[in-house]
């Protein structure tokens, strides 16, 4: 992995306390996206006319921690830039009284989310996937070498600077990020991308609450490596390695068991043209035991990420067609909000599984299940729900 010399701010910046609207025109009626701590809106700097994204969050220790961690990695070419931060007290729609808020002025990522970009690609190959993954690895490496766990790596948080072929991939949203000092216990996660250790932490937390356990269960930044494995898997085939087989339940016990045991497949129809080196990365990232899981340094050095153009397979992948189809199974639209809804704001995730492209393991298994159980009465509503177009959010920062 090539390293660059970058200067990083190490402390929280001086908070500007004068009204932000003295310096910026804010489009409060528009929304670029919604993240774990609040919506993101477009804005322009009055003096220069430069466009930015504005993230508005309630002032709290957690919000200040987000700013502080973002500052520690600010300036890296693969991390969304934090331009400045304001501390204002004002009312928004729905507020009974003015509230103290932090306003983060961020780089505007006009290319949108990674998977949206892939869905528009006319020809998407392993070489392109490797180039995206290499940039994602650089961003995570920046965090991990500073002993920071992101804890919410998912496609919505990998964004592109623009729509050109030369667009740069950057990591966003540090709302769940935390220094890995041995005290990571809170089970922050999105179901598709959650590592086994985070599920273990959730179960342990429940056991402590019920008086069945005492000592805390901690996990570490290796949870990010698992999530990268899931992101790469989806990038190459268009659907997740772990999923609910019940269309009425977003996160089932069976799905939880599969994650905890690391049981996943490479269905031949979708994976026979994908290189063994790419599969090797996924296998080594999706090890249940975090001690055996590939580290960010090992991933950066993997041959698949360091191949030349001529060494990569140029066979077009199916993933753009899968990700581009907007007709989705109704249950998947709720998957990201099922677990720990009290820890995050409602979010509309990138949807992964189309109905039109029905020849994949998720759809096959669900259809077989419905047929064997004689659930003919459920076919009509399921089909109707599947025809509802669910739009993935177009985000400046996936925040």
User: Do 333 and 283 have their domain in common?
Assistant: yes
Rounded CA-CA distance 294/287 in Å is 8
CB atoms within 10 A of CB 196: 22
Task: Reply yes or no on whether 152 is catalytic.
Answer: yes
CATH code, domain with 15: 3.30.200.20
Q: Confirm whether 52 is domain-assigned.
A: yes
- Between residues 284 and 247, which one has the greater pLDDT? 284
User: Do 130 and 271 have their domain in common?
Assistant: yes
**What is the band of 249 on the pLDDT scale with cuts at 50, 70, 90?**
confident
**What is the band of 314 on the pLDDT scale with cuts at 50, 70, 90?**
confident
Among 66, 88, 107, which residue terminates a domain?
A: 107
The pLDDT score that the predictor gives to residue 347 is 37
The whole-number average pLDDT for the span 328-339 is 40
The pLDDT score that the predictor gives to residue 47 is 97
Tens digit of pLDDT for each residue in 62-97?
999 999 999 999 999 999 999 999 999 999 888 899
Rounded CA-CA distance 184/180 in Å is 7
User: Do 188 and 77 have their domain in common?
Assistant: no
User: Do 70 and 166 have their domain in common?
Assistant: no
Three-state DSSP state, 84 = strand
Rounded CA-CA distance 331/378 in Å is 13
Among 320, 343, 366, which residue terminates a domain?
A: 343
Q: Confirm whether 189 is domain-assigned.
A: yes
The pLDDT score that the predictor gives to residue 395 is 32
Tens digit of pLDDT for each residue in 182-198?
655 565 556 788 888 87
The whole-number average pLDDT for the span 128-141 is 97
Rounded CA-CA distance 302/285 in Å is 12
Number of domains the chain is built from: 2
pTM of the model: 0.78
User: Do 146 and 240 have their domain in common?
Assistant: yes
What's the domain range around 34?
11-107
CATH code, domain with 131: 1.10.510.10
Q: Confirm whether 319 is domain-assigned.
A: yes
Residues in Cβ contact with 328 at an 8 Å cutoff, skipping those fewer than 6 apart: 351, 352, 353, 354, 355, 386, 388, 390
**Phi and psi torsions of 137, nearest 5°:** -65, -40
In this structure, of 19-33, 45-59, 248-262, the range with the lowest mean pLDDT score is 248-262
The whole-number average pLDDT for the span 129-134 is 96
Which stretches of 229-362 are assigned E, i.e. beta strand? Answer: none
- Between residues 3 and 180, which one has the greater pLDDT? 180
Contact 334, 378 (CB under 8 A): no
**Phi and psi torsions of 303, nearest 5°:** -55, -35
User: Do 165 and 229 have their domain in common?
Assistant: yes
The pLDDT score that the predictor gives to residue 374 is 57
Task: Report which DSSP code applies to 371.
Answer: H
Catalytic residue among 116, 152, 224, 331: 152
Mean pLDDT of the chain: 79
For the chain, what percent of residues have pLDDT higher than 90?
50
Q: Confirm whether 122 is domain-assigned.
A: yes
Contact 337, 360 (CB under 8 A): no
Q: Confirm whether 44 is domain-assigned.
A: yes
Q: Is the pLDDT assigned to residue 378 strictly greater than 90? A: no
Residue with the two structure tokens 């400045």: 84
CB atoms within 10 A of CB 148: 20
The whole-number average pLDDT for the span 263-292 is 95
């Amino acid at each position: 992995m090539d390293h660059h010399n970058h200067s990083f701010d190490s402390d929280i910046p001086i908070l500007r306390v004068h009204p932000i609207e003295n310096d910026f025109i804010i489009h409060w009626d528009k929304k670029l996206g919604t993240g774990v701590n609040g919506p993101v809106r477009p804005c322009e700097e009055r003096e220069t006319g430069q466009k930015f994204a504005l993230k508005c969050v309630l002032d709290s220790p957690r919000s200040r921690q987000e700013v502080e961690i973002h500052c520690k990695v600010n300036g890296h070419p693969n991390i969304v830039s934090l331009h400045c931060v304001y501390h204002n007290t004002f009312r928004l729609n729905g507020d009974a009284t003015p509230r103290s808020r932090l306003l983060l002025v961020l780089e505007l990522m006009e290319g949108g989310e990674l998977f949206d970009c892939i869905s528009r690609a006319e020809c998407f190959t392993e070489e392109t996937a490797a180039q995206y993954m290499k940039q994602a690895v650089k961003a995570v490496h920046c965090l991990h070498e500073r002993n920071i766990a992101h804890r919410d790596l998912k496609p919505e948080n990998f964004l592109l600077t623009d729509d050109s072929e030369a667009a740069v991939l950057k990591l966003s949203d540090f709302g769940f990020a935390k220094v890995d000092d041995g005290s990571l216990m809170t089970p922050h996660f999105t179901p598709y991308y959650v590592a086994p250790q985070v599920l273990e932490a959730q179960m342990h937390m429940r056991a402590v609450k019920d008086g069945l356990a005492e000592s805390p269960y901690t996990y570490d930044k290796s949870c990010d490596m698992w999530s990268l494995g899931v992101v790469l898997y989806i990038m190459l085939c268009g659907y997740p390695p772990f999923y609910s087989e019940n269309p009425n339940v977003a996160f089932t016990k069976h799905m939880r068991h599969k994650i905890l045991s690391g049981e996943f497949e490479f269905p031949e129809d979708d994976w026979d043209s994908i290189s063994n080196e790419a599969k090797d990365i996924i296998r080594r990232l999706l090890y249940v035991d975090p001690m055996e899981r590939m580290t960010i340094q090992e991933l950066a050095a993997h041959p698949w990420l360091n191949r030349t153009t001529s060494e990569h397979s140029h066979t077009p992948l199916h993933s753009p067609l899968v990700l581009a189809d907007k007709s989705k199974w109704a249950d998947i639209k709720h998957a990201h909000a099922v677990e720990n809804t009290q820890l995050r704001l409602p979010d509309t995730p990138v949807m992964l599984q189309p109905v039109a492209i029905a020849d994949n393991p998720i759809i096959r298994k669900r259809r077989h299940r419905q047929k064997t159980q004689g659930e003919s009465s459920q076919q009509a509503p399921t089909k109707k729900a599947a025809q509802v177009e669910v739009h993935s959010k177009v985000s400046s920062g996936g925040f």
